[in-house]
Amino acid sequence: MRNITKEFPGVKALQNVNLKVKEGEIHALCGENGAGKSTLMKVLSGVYPHGTYVGDILFNEKVCEFKDIKQSEELGIVIIHQELALIPYLSIAENIFLGNEQVKNGVINWNDTSVKTRELLQKVGLNESPNTLIANIGVGKQQLAEISKALSKEVKLLILDEPTAALNEDDSENLLNLLLEFKKQGMSAIIISHKLNEISKVADSITILRDGQTIETLDMKKDNITEDRIIKGMVGRDLTNRYPKREPNIGETMFEVKNWNVYHPSRTDQKVIDNVNFHIRKGEIVGIAGLMGAGRTEMAMSIFGKSYGKKIEGQIYKDGKKIQIKDVNQAIDQGIAYVSEDRKGNGLILEDDIKQNISLASLDKIIKNFVINEQKEIIEAEKFREKMKIKTPSVHQKTGNLSGGNQQKVVLSKWIFSEPDILILDEPTRGIDVGAKYEIYTIINQLAMEGKGVLVISSELPEILGICDRIYVMNEGRITGQVSREDANQETLMKYMTKMKV
Amino acid sequence: MQTSMEKAVKEDKKAGSKSNSQSLAQMFKGNMRQYSMIIALVAIAILFQILTDGILLRPLNITNLILQNSYILVLAIGMMLVIITGHIDLSVGSIAAFVGAISAILMVNYEMSTFLAIVISLLIGALIGAWQGFWVAYVKIPAFIVTLAGMLLFRGLTMVVLEGKSIAPYPEAFQKISSGFVPDWLGGTNMNILTLVVGIVLSAILIINEVKNRKTQLKYKFDVTPTGIFVAKIVGMVALVNLFAYVLAIYEGIPNILVILVVLIVAYRFVTTKMKAGRHIYAIGGNEKAAQLSGVKTKRMTFLVFVNMGVLSALSGLLFAARLNAATPRAGNLFELDAIAACFIGGASAYGGIGTVPGAIIGGLVMGVMNNGMSILGLGIDWQQGIKGLVLLAAVAFDIYNKNKAS
């Protein structure tokens, strides 16, 4: 892939990216969340068709212009996405040949399908009947079924996006060995992974992306690459001027969570949050770092009125007093606010206008004698429009028409209007441009100045390092480390983030 | 970056200094759906007025139109709330029939007092609504299935309690709800004076309200419609109210049922736009997850919307029984479809979160005027059904076309 550039409205996701995969090698693609790995792979596999990006894709020295996935698959480029694309209530065989049915005279030949499926399952070492429903096998086996599906298409280049993210140790091991096996048979592969130990194990070379740009390509054999070397490539960047200055004025502990345990809502024997303890002081900005799936959002939502999980155990103290929070209303009453990471899905009502979104969590503030005072609602919304610099002609604008940064400001306004003492901000700057990020950091600093406690969950390490006074690191539902601002750097955080349970 | 932020601030100021009076085009664009539905209603009325040689808008027929459509309009109000929360209720016709049957048994067979029988009937409606709301809100069974079951269940129960026969006649006091008129205390002879007075009083209230609203809006420097349009709008509305009052006055005056309808429309309009419950209903339909995370008790609210639907279904059943002066096993047949169609013609979104009470009424009137007009023309029920189906499809297609164009 040569000089690939891909832009989304307002964001340059990829900028002159180069990636070269040799025949018969396993090539790892590394980078932080949002560095552009998945976008690059979607360009390569035709999810983003030719014409929506700039640059060339060369496959076996021929320029390719894929219009859709079908065309890239014909050449043998197959992608397995992070979220598996299997249909739960169809059988393994039906899933493998979905869209590629073994048809004879317009009728599906089930015998043929079964025989071929069995061959494929044998290749990947999946010991299940072709007629088993996908819903009835575990995630590890589903991943193998997904790979069988790729193999059924005579794959030459297999792309795996975080293939082991949902797998346990054994299944991961199994999958990686399988990849090495395929390599021997001459297949090439690109693997995206956060797990550096896995990459060291299987990859022949590594390309590192950062902020949508190629940083370097490393040869595993030649350069004697260590995990630390990879981390350095992933995170090394200039931090100046991206974060507003602040003189922290930190008071006493105002919010504390002790022995917090949360179980999965449907698989009730699985602990999602495992004995978490943390505290926030007045005027302090506390960060929670971690990789995707570390349990940060789950923890925040379980604290915010038990919005996630079952069998929630543990104690919450506010200003030294133990408090009970049974639902979201009580959380709001206790002065807690949670700004969701998914502002479109969980934060905003896109059909409604700005003022209605801002007032939704605190309607009582604009109600007198059971009647909503619409004048007051507009006035309050106008105040936030000015204070937060929401760029919109009026507060009557539908929030669905705003840009990401402005939508985030509306969500923040909503929660600041509820006058909380503790704000939990989950990925507050995800998907918004640099300018708006700066403004949001300024708002966060302002909140801390006012003596509120702010908990920032972020997957962007520079952001955490840039704005937080103290940082907790989570992995696999546990807090694996606590670092103060002075001692924190990206390497230490990354180490805690990948620290496995022993 | 500094410069880009400065630029943004400048743009902000520019936007702020824009005159605070909206242009006509802007105003029309913002309320496209509502205005276009009113225009469609007027166009349909004019069309049938011409086709029926002026019968459609005769005083007698206008009164008939109100009486004929009252029970559908009552259902449409409740259905609008259900649809805004993102659900549907297929059982309202059956509930109406069942409650009608119960009321007949109480009043005719047991000779219970009319007032008590009505209260009990409405309570039964609430209970049925609670039953369905429980399955939808707390057990999370799709409303389509719960109310489909309810449609069969309560239709069946209607036939059981009526033993397949009709019960009639109701006491006169009950019949009067649907067939009576507000008596003319002012003693008009060939014209109902009270109706005219009510028309004038309503006009006064309307003017005072609008002027007051505009004053507060100007005080806070909010966007307002230009003065010319504002005056034209008020003059038009006052003319319409008084014309309507005049037409009613030269027949028999204000039907009792119209009073009930107006009270319901005003009350539900108020609740949905000015009260917390209304906001919560829209929020649930717009994004249930976001609503829940903002402290809206989504389950309880959904439950209450179904309870409300049950009560209004019961009321609709009573109005229908009173008008027919009988409880029959086939009462309320297909009412649910008329009510749902009224909501969608009136601008509701099938995905929830969008729709207004006046919209449901306008949608109901579009259907009602078409029914009435086509009946006068002598068009068979077969053609009527077909044409209504096409109108429903056209209204929603128009809606979706507009939305796609906007985005």
B292 vs B295: CA distance, rounded Å: 5
> B17 or B348, which is more confident?
B348
The average confidence (pLDDT) of chain B is 88
The confidence score (pLDDT) of residue B8 equals: 42
B31 pLDDT tier (thresholds 50, 70, 90): low
CB contact set of A299 (below 8 Å; sequence gap of 6+): A260, A262, A273, A276, A288, A474, A477
B300 pLDDT tier (thresholds 50, 70, 90): very high
Q: With contacts defined as CB-CB under 8 Å, which chain A residues touch B294?
A: 328, 360-361, 414
Query: For residue A257, which amino acid is it?
Result: V
For range A403-419, the mean pLDDT:
92
Best-predicted range by mean pLDDT (A161-175, B23-37, B68-82, B232-246): B68-82
User: Across the interface, which of B4, B217, B292 has its CB nearest the CB of A328?
Assistant: B292
State percent of chain B over pLDDT 90: 67
The confidence score (pLDDT) of residue A11 equals: 62
User: Across the interface, which of A349, A361, A372 has its CB nearest the CB of B295?
Assistant: A361
Whether B287 and A348 lie within 8 Å, measured CB to CB:
yes
Task: Tell whether the model's pLDDT for residue B268 goes beyond 90.
Answer: yes
Best-predicted range by mean pLDDT (A178-192, A398-412, B323-337): B323-337
Q: With contacts defined as CB-CB under 8 Å, which chain B residues touch A435?
A: 1, 4-5
User: Across the interface, which of B282, B287, B294 has its CB nearest the CB of A361?
Assistant: B294
CB atoms within 10 A of CB B18: 12
Say if residues A254 and A437 touch (Cβ distance below 8 Å).
no
- In A, minimum Cα distance to B84 occurs at A351
Say if residues A272 and A477 touch (Cβ distance below 8 Å).
yes
Q: What are phi and psi of A336, to 5 degrees?
A: -110, 140
The confidence score (pLDDT) of residue A310 equals: 84
Say if residues A344 and A407 touch (Cβ distance below 8 Å).
yes
CB atoms within 10 A of CB A49: 15
Task: Tell whether the model's pLDDT for residue A461 goes beyond 70.
Answer: yes
Structure tokens, B123:
């309570």
For range A265-289, the mean pLDDT:
91
The confidence score (pLDDT) of residue B3 equals: 42
What's the CA angle centered on A474, arms A471 and A480, to 5 degrees? 85
Q: Work out whether strand A188-192 and strand A205-210 pair parallel, antiparallel, or are unpaired.
A: unpaired
CB pairs under 8 A between A and B: 95
Q: With contacts defined as CB-CB under 8 Å, which chain B residues touch A396?
A: 223
DSSP output for A286-325: EEEE--TTSSHHHHHHHHTTS-S-EEEEEEEEETTEEE--
A2-235 shares its CATH topology with A250-335+420-502: yes
Distance from CA of A156 to the nearest CA of B (A): 41
B273 pLDDT tier (thresholds 50, 70, 90): very high
> B265 or A200, which is more confident?
B265
* Mutation site, A241, A243, A306, A328, interface B, largest B CB count within 10 A: A328
pLDDT tens digit sequence for A20-37:
888 888 999 887 766 788
Handedness of CA A464, A342, A43, A191 (dihedral sign): positive
The confidence score (pLDDT) of residue A450 equals: 93
Stretch among A203-217, A296-310, B230-244 having the lowest mean pLDDT: A203-217
Whether A360 and B279 lie within 8 Å, measured CB to CB:
yes
User: Across the interface, which of B12, B216, B282 has its CB nearest the CB of A352?
Assistant: B282
> B243 or B15, which is more confident?
B243
Domain ranges of chain B: 31-180+276-406, 182-254
Q: What is the pTM of this model?
A: 0.81
For range B32-58, the mean pLDDT:
85
pLDDT tens digit sequence for B376-396:
999 888 888 899 899 889 888
User: Across the interface, which of A351, A374, A434 has its CB nearest the CB of B1?
Assistant: A434
Task: Tell whether the model's pLDDT for residue A388 goes beyond 50.
Answer: yes
pLDDT tens digit sequence for A80-111:
887 778 898 999 999 999 888 888 888 888 88
Task: Tell whether the model's pLDDT for residue B11 goes beyond 50.
Answer: no
State percent of chain A over pLDDT 70: 96
A380 vs A414: CA distance, rounded Å: 10
pLDDT tens digit sequence for B123-150:
999 999 999 999 999 999 999 999 999 9
ipTM computed for the complex: 0.82
- H helices present in A105-213, as ranges: 110-124, 139-151, 169-184, 196-202
Which among A309, A320, A303, A297 is positioned nearest to A270, based on CA atoms? Answer: A309
Stretch among A53-62, A429-438, B54-63, B162-171 having the lowest mean pLDDT: A429-438
The confidence score (pLDDT) of residue A460 equals: 81
Say if residues B71 and B316 touch (Cβ distance below 8 Å).
yes
Helix (H) or strand (E) holding A453, with range, is: strand A453-457
Whether A389 and B290 lie within 8 Å, measured CB to CB:
no
Whether A363 and B297 lie within 8 Å, measured CB to CB:
no
The confidence score (pLDDT) of residue B123 equals: 98
Task: Tell whether the model's pLDDT for residue B33 goes beyond 70.
Answer: no
Q: With contacts defined as CB-CB under 8 Å, which chain A residues touch B222?
A: 375, 378
Domain ranges of chain A: 2-235, 250-335+420-502, 349-419
Q: With contacts defined as CB-CB under 8 Å, which chain A residues touch B216?
A: 375
User: Across the interface, which of A305, A391, A434 has its CB nearest the CB of B8?
Assistant: A391
Best-predicted range by mean pLDDT (A145-159, A179-193, B312-326): B312-326
The confidence score (pLDDT) of residue B98 equals: 97
Distance from CA of B8 to the nearest CA of A (A): 7
Structure tokens, B254:
């204000």
Q: With contacts defined as CB-CB under 8 Å, which chain B residues touch A346?
A: 287, 289-290, 293
For range A261-266, the mean pLDDT:
90
Whether B294 and A435 lie within 8 Å, measured CB to CB:
no
Architecture of domain A2-235: 3-Layer(aba) Sandwich (3.40)
For range A29-52, the mean pLDDT:
82
The confidence score (pLDDT) of residue B324 equals: 94
Whether B276 and A435 lie within 8 Å, measured CB to CB:
no
CB contact set of A110 (below 8 Å; sequence gap of 6+): none
B13 pLDDT tier (thresholds 50, 70, 90): very low
Tokens 């993102």 -> residue = B86
Q: With contacts defined as CB-CB under 8 Å, which chain B residues touch A393?
A: 15, 18
B26 pLDDT tier (thresholds 50, 70, 90): low
Task: Tell whether the model's pLDDT for residue B407 goes beyond 70.
Answer: no
* Domain B31-180+276-406 = CATH 1.10.3470: yes
Q: For A162-300, where are the E strands, in sequence order?
A: 188-192, 205-210, 213-219, 253-263, 271-281, 285-289
- In B, minimum Cα distance to A341 occurs at B290
The average confidence (pLDDT) of chain A is 87
Whether A378 and B354 lie within 8 Å, measured CB to CB:
no
- CATH homologous superfamily for the domain A250-335+420-502: P-loop containing nucleotide triphosphate hydrolases (3.40.50.300)
